[in-house]
Amino acid sequence: MAFIPLNRVHWLYWLALLWCCVYLLLTLSWWQQYKHQELQLQQTAALLPCVEPVQTLIRNLQTERGLSAGQVTPSLPYKPALQIQYLLTDAAWRDLTVALEQQTAPAQSVLMKVLAQNPLPALRQQVLYNGLESTPVDGAIIIKAYSAVIKPLLQYVQQLQLDGDMPWQQHSNAISQLTEMIERSGLERAMLHMAMAEQEMSAARYQNYVFVMNELRDHQSAFEQRSPSAVLQHWQQWQQQQHYQQLTEVREQALNQQFSVPPALWFSLSSTNINQLYQLQQDLQLQLQQDLTEGRQTRLEAMQQLQLHQQYMLLLLLLILWRMHRLNIITAKERPQPKSTVSFQQQIGQG
């Protein structure tokens, strides 16, 4: 650089120093973003081992809720089916308890406290012995009680919901919305099961039913927006099936306050639809597990590359600072020294 003026060399070094600082800040920002995503991946992966047994218990509780809503109506003797469902629910309850005992995350400990307070025996006694007591049990109260048991389980699954445009984030959001769809469909099954048995629905129950249906439509719209194309295609194919068309017709009749459909037919239509939703949920969870494995590996490699770039940039930054220091020394040596002024009297004295 001997042919370049020293002041220009100074400017070149300053520009290089600025470029290194900007690049270091960018890589630090990228690294923090990847680190945040890595933490999300770890949290999601920690939740997955218990998600399946939680969903199995939710599924059985929803079925038990739907059957119980019809059982409180004296015209529907569902005791054999209910007692079989009780066995299935208890088995799912035990499986979840065993799965939670093998985990140590705070979310699992919260579920353990929920499972320790088992309200099902008291609820079942009210349902099975309904009509033998002086005051019959209100089906709406039974539905509300079962929903209170299901709520903390749903909150556990909702922890999968994450914001972002990455594939694993979209799949987790789709699972969350689908979980809400299933719960609203389960509420609809229970509410209409009771209404079909009684062939009527009070104004308050009808208002609650309309509210549940509006929520179902909202979650369905969000699910369709966030689902991958393959899952969305399966969902659209299911909507074109005759079984789903029959379900839609019964829904329209219910919204028009017509409850003449046989309760068993409605329960079968709704249960088949819910089973299809659970199948979509399982497909999404398989894709989510694959995304988590690939995503963690990709982010680990990216973070290693960023750390390597940061090390190179730090070395280059130190080199630039050292060269600038050397350049300042050279500039100071080559700078002309000011001549000392000697007064006239000193010259006479020297003479």
Distance of CA 136 to the CA centre of its chain: 41
Is residue 332's pLDDT more than 80?
A: no
Residue 14 neighbours by CB under 8 Å, 6+ apart:
324
Nearest by Cα to 288 from 180, 179, 174: 174
> Average pLDDT for residues 92-103, to the nearest whole number?
86
Is residue 183's pLDDT more than 90?
A: yes
Task: Provide the whole-model pTM.
Answer: 0.76
Query: What pLDDT is stored for residue 345 in this prediction?
Result: 55
Would you say 82 and 107 are in contact if contact means Cβ atoms under 8 Å apart?
no
For 340, half-sphere exposure in the C-beta direction (CA atoms, 13 angstrom radius) is 3
Distance CA 303, CA 34 (A): 7
Rg of the chain's alpha carbons, rounded to an integer? 35
Does some domain include residue 222?
A: yes
Would you say 96 and 115 are in contact if contact means Cβ atoms under 8 Å apart?
yes
Does some domain include residue 136?
A: yes
Would you say 209 and 185 are in contact if contact means Cβ atoms under 8 Å apart?
no
Query: What pLDDT is stored for residue 97 in this prediction?
Result: 87
Does some domain include residue 56?
A: yes
Does some domain include residue 11?
A: no
Does some domain include residue 18?
A: no
Nearest by Cα to 150 from 99, 111, 108, 104: 111
> Average pLDDT for residues 161-169, to the nearest whole number?
72
Query: What pLDDT is stored for residue 2 in this prediction?
Result: 46
Number of domains in the chain: 1
Query: What pLDDT is stored for residue 250 in this prediction?
Result: 94
Is residue 50's pLDDT more than 70?
A: yes
Nearest by Cα to 165 from 157, 174, 154, 177: 174
Does some domain include residue 340?
A: no
Query: What pLDDT is stored for residue 173 in this prediction?
Result: 85
Distance CA 64, CA 56 (A): 12
Any long-range contacts for 163-169 (C-beta under 8 Å, 24+ apart)? 164/37, 166/37, 166/291, 166/295, 167/228, 167/287, 167/291, 167/295, 168/41, 168/44, 168/288, 168/291, 168/292, 168/295, 169/40
Does some domain include residue 115?
A: yes
Does some domain include residue 343?
A: no
Range of the domain at 51: 23-304
Report the percent of the chain where pLDDT is more than 70: 82
112-121, 211-220, 316-325, 333-342: segment of lowest average pLDDT: 333-342
Largest CA distance in the chain: 137
Nearest by Cα to 265 from 36, 76, 72, 30: 76
Average pLDDT, the chain: 81
pLDDT digits (tens, 9 = 90+) for 32-44: 777 777 777 777 7
